[in-house]
Every structure is written in C-alpha cells, then in structure tokens.
Chain A
C-alpha cells in the first residue's frame, strides 16, 4: 500500500560526477524510458528504490492483520469470501513487491529481517486497530483508495520491475476499494446501529488515510530527488488533494460525513480545501507509539519464528531430492 514514511535520505544524488554510465542513466530517465535490473544505476538510486519498494512490501504484509482479524467474524459468508480474497491479495502484493526489490540485489530474507528488527518502516496506517466491521469497509474505501492514488502514477515509475509490479497491484486493488465502499454503503443504508458503526469508522480513518501521502511537501526532504529520478511522480500534497477531491462526492453518495469542519469547495482553486492534519500524532505512530505497533510486530515475528521448522524441513527435503533424480510432478499423485 502507500509508502508514507517520511524517512529522509540525505544523499544529494549523484548527478554531480558525470561518468558515461551516469550519462546513459540520466538519458534513460530523461527520455521517460525504464531502468532495468542489470543496468548501471547510481548507488543512491538503488538504495532509495530498495527502501521505497521494501517499505511498500512490508506495508502490504503488515496490512494483512487489521482486516485479517475480521475474517473469522465476517457477518455473511459472501463478505467472508471477499475478505479472505482481499487479505490474500495483500500477501500477493507483498510478494510482487519483494520480487521487485530483490532485483535490486537485496534478498527477501534480508528485507524480512529489516522488518522484523524494526530497521525498516511500513505505512503507519496499519498501526491503527480495526475495531468494528465497518472499519473493514473504511480501510477498503479510504486506505486502499489512498493507496491506489499513490500507486497508479508508480506504474510509470522509472524502475521497470517496480512499475510492472504496480501495474499488477493496481489491477487487483481496484476491487479492494469497491468492496470497502460497498460494505459502508450496506451499513449506511442499514439499521441505525449499522449506520453509526459506519460513521464512526469513517471518523477514525479519514485523518490517518490523508496522512498516508506523507508529510506536507515542505517537510518531505527526499521527495525532490525521488521526483527527479521518477520513482515518485507527484508530490505528497498533489496526491492528497486529488484524493480529497475524489472522496468528497463518494462520501456524499454514502450519506456519511467526513470529519473535517474545514472541508469545503474552493471555487477559485477548483479543489476542496481541507483542514490541518495532526502531524505530531503521525510522527508518534510512525516512531512506534501508535495503538498497535507492538502488536503488529509481535504477530509478524511469531509467524516467522513458528514457521522456521517448516521452512527448514522443505529446504532439507529439497537438498535430499537434489541427489535423487527429479521426480515427474503429476498433479494428482494418488490417481
């Protein structure tokens, strides 16, 4: 999902020294063509991309948890099926993204270690709890909606494998946002208690969803370089504005209100104005003091540790088999 970490790279970029490789790299970026894994690239570009893609992957993986908590309690079998498919997609998206990151030379085990040891960040939105079923709807509509806003431009990212992964992710994610909106639509048109549940969820997720685009442009130090490299195509504030413009009519269609007293149409700008967001809270959550940071990490670490014997067993079996002739792999072994 969205990469909302404001982590600063102090690297000034590498355009100062101009080698033939650097010139070739610059030309490819300039022409809006794509950098591919075996191409020469500046170390800072490799580093920034690895960080961005892996944070994005980590976000997908941690993002399985808040909604995953509702699989067992989904209020209808249809909703249960949709939710399983959705959470499963998030694992898939994490995998596509880890694959893209791995083409930059860092294996998944290293990326995973960075997540489990807290060295790598993930989107702070997933440190909020999914308290009610309506939160599943709000996460789909607002959180996935914000993620899509972030991700669509990344399909044209200068790094080939990342762009291709994003194409796949965006294609799949369009259903995520719709199912979320549909959940809220059913609730908003349901009993008074259901409608209240929906409104509460929107109240909880509106602010954090807007913060998924990262800090205001003035406080986003590495954005400039990322834009030059075309691994980020629009500024945080541009994307946030687009998102606000998109969700206002969608909220109206739901009959729910967005919890922002300053939200109003600005004729002059041709956009909706929106109120200040609580960036101190954002920083606190990002630095580990959100409601669920410890819980999310503990869940991931436990899954990893409890799976160790299984991963080792499969690897051991593969080593033994490598000595034996490769067996034919018929799908139905007992036929």
Chain B
C-alpha cells in the first residue's frame, strides 16, 4: 500500500502515502490527548467502513460494488493509520483498539452508527460524511503534529474522490426518476439530524489548538458545499430537528452495539491469538 519512497525508519513526513504499518514501525509515541483525538477520527472511519463494506456483493450494479469497495478500503486505511497512531500512547495496536474496547470506549459520531438503509440513505450519509471529512483533513494537513498531518494529507486526496462519488450519485438520484428523488430526499432527511454533532467543539479540541481541528470552523465550508450539491440535485435542505449528540463522550445509539458485536465476535473468542 505504500506508494514507494517512504522510509519507516525516518521521521514521519507529510506528502507520503502513509500506511498503518509505516506508523507502527516508526517508533512514535503520541501524547494522551492526541491519542484521544486520533481515536475519535479513527472510530468514525472504522465504523463507516464497516457499514459501507456491507454493500460488497449487494450493490445496484457490479461497477458500484467495486466503487463502494474502494471507498470502504480507503476509510479502513484511515482508521488503521489513526488507531495505530493512537495506540502508540499506551502501547496498544490498532487491533487492540478496534476489537478489545467496549462500546462506551468508542468515540464515533452517531452518523456512522446508523443502520444501513437503501442506496439513497447510503449516498446521503456518504455525502455528508465525505464533505465534512474533506474539510477536516484539508485543515488537519496543517496540524502541528506531523503524523496527523501526514495521515490527513494522504486521506484528503482519497476523500476528495469520495465527495465526487457521493455528489455524482446525489445528482443522478435527485434528478433521475420520481422514485429515486423521493428515496434520495428521504435518505437525506434520515441522516440530517446527525449533522450538527460533526461540528461540535469540546474540551479536547480546545486543548489541542494547533494540533486538532476545531470542528465548528469547518461548518461554513460544509454548508456551502452541501447547498451547492442539493441545488444541483434538485433536493431540499432538510428541515428536521437535530438529534441529541454524545458519540464523542461514549454515549451511543443502540445500533453501535450490534455493529461491534459482529465486528469483534471472532477476535474476542480467541483473545491473544494472532491471525
């Protein structure tokens, strides 16, 4: 997965196609707060990847199986890099964090936890998450933490493609048929209550000035972009109330327990085993 040239023995530098293996081999030690921050971003990417990979063998057309597979793999790559880095604070691996943390130790936003709906729901969630993640990683590319910056630099290029994918589909579903318009709008309405949480600042992001991105600072660019997509797609900006938040504090939707139960089942049956 390394696109060549990155020497894991040297300091992490930006502009490299960074992998989890590179980070694990680099002998880094993240500070506690940085680890907490990397964990929440990693959890978002991991759970969304888990949701998205469900589509493989179920997509509307074979070409789309491949497209969604690519996106799921990109997200899993982001999760692995972020969790590997987070793990360096406490001597843990990406797998320790992914498989052996309990539900309330996860800090992902509610958006990624939602049960899978139809393709319209999936595109709506991808659109919201990708637009947010694009702004996030763009800003994080300039982080004072070189590892976070390097991870973000690789991720932002991939997320740019995810934005395009969701955008293209939103346009087609919004404009296509009466049924597709209805379903795409319904998908948007279903995910919209979970948008505000993406942009909530908290103590951690306040403490990590210069290292973390203040989520609220990303909102204007996100709003601009989403308005443009929706207008192009003949879709309405949903006017639905926002849901209660809490993902970053470990207060989750019921659905997360099921995702984790499935994801962690095999690893937990064989604690300490290697695969």
Spell out A's residues near B (CB within 8 Å).
61, 64-65, 68, 71-81, 84-85, 87-88, 91-92, 94-95, 98, 133, 183, 186-187, 190-191, 193-194, 299, 302-303, 306-317, 320, 331-334
Contacts and interface: CB of A to CB of B under 8 A. Distances in A.
Interface in B255-271: 262-263, 265-267, 270
B202 interface: no
Given A91-B69, A306-B60, 5 more contacts: A87-B57, A88-B69, A303-B59, A313-B180, A334-B229
Interface string B52-70: 0110111111111110011
Interface stretch (B74-82, B103-111, B236-244): B74-82
A309 B180 contact: yes
A98 B62 CA distance: 11
B77 A81 contact: yes
Given A84-B72, A317-B175, A92 B180 contact: no
B179 A313 contact: yes
B76 A84 contact: yes
B73 A317 contact: no
Interface string B84-99: 0000000000110011
Contact of A333 (B65, B83, B164, B275): B164
Nearest to B51: A72
B167 A312 contact: no
A132 to B, nearest CB: 9
Given A61-B62, A303-B57, A72 B262 contact: yes
Contacts of B28: none
B172 interface: yes
> Which range holds the interface residue count of chain B?
35 or more
A194 B273 contact: yes
A87 B158 CA distance: 20
Closest 3 CB pairs of A and B: A307-B60, A313-B176, A313-B180
B73 A81 contact: yes
B177 A88 contact: no
The majority secondary structure among interface residues of chain B is helix
B270 A193 contact: yes
Contacts of A98: 62
Contacts of B272: 191
B131 A73 contact: no
A77 B225 CA distance: 32
A314 B57 contact: no
Contacts of B176: 312-317
Of A95, A133, A314, A316, chain B has the most CB atoms within 10 Å of the CB of A314
Contact of A77 (B95, B134, B183): B95
B188 interface: no
B228 interface: yes
B53 to A, nearest CB: 5
Contacts of B124: none
Interface in B150-179: 160-161, 163-164, 167, 171-173, 175-177, 179
A309 B164 CA distance: 21
A331 B53 CA distance: 24
A92 B20 CA distance: 26
B50 interface: yes
B59 A71 contact: no
22 contacts: A73-B262, A73-B265, A76-B95, A76-B267, A77-B83, A84-B56, A84-B69, A84-B73, A85-B69, A88-B69, A91-B57, A95-B63, A98-B62, A194-B273, A303-B60, A307-B60, A310-B61, A311-B60, A313-B180, A331-B164, A333-B228, A334-B228
Interface of B: 20, 46, 50, 53-54, 56-66, 69-70, 72-73, 76-77, 79-80, 83, 94-95, 98-99, 118-119, 131, 134, 160-161, 163-164, 167, 171-173, 175-177, 179-180, 183, 224-225, 228-229, 262-263, 265-267, 270, 272-275
Contacts of B131: 334
B57 A68 contact: yes
Given A79-B275, A84-B76, A91-B62, A72 B69 contact: no
B131 to A, nearest CB: 7
A311 B172 CA distance: 10
Contacts of B50: 72
A299 B95 contact: no
A73 B79 contact: no
Contact of A75 (B56, B57, B161, B275): B275
Given A64-B56, A307-B59, A309-B183, A316 B275 contact: no
Of B80, B99, B225, B266, chain A has the most CB atoms within 10 Å of the CB of B266
Contacts of A94: 62
Nearest to A68: B57
Nearest to A94: B62
A317 B171 contact: yes
Given A79-B275, A299-B57, A332 B160 contact: yes
